Amino acid sequence: MKRFVSVSLSIFIALCMIIGLERRAWGYVDPGSGLIALQGFASVMAAYAYFIRRRIREFFRRKKETRAVVVPIAPDQGNSREVA
């Protein structure tokens, strides 16, 4: 958990610095480049969900508390294989 917080904090700081130190760009930006950025973000999130799918599945699965009752069974004296 500590590692996740430190990575998240460093990504947040990096994004704040990118936004804060922004300069004017005198270039052409294609209208479709925003969609490409959105697609990249969505693919990263899908890959992350793929790698933690077991945790996601356990989160949505109901946990049923089942208590197994173990009843000891006496071995059959007539069967020679179980007597040993």
Residue 7 domain flag: no
Q: What total number of domains does the chain contain?
A: 1
Residue 81 domain flag: no
Q: Give the pair of three-digit tokens for residue 44.
A: 């990263």
pLDDT in tens, 33-73: 888 888 999 999 999 988 888 888 888 887 666 666 677 67
Parent domain of 40: 35-60
Q: How would DSSP label each residue in 24-75?
A: ---S---TTHHHHHHHHHHHHHHHHHHHTHHHHHHHHSPPP---PPP---PP
Residue 10 domain flag: no
Residue 56 domain flag: yes
Residue 72 domain flag: no
Residue 26 domain flag: no
Statement: the pTM of the whole predicted model exceeds 0.75: no
pLDDT in tens, 41-52: 999 999 998 888
Q: How many Cβ atoms sit within 10 Å of the Cβ of residue 57?
A: 9
83 in Cβ contact with 77 (< 8 Å):
yes
Residue 39 domain flag: yes
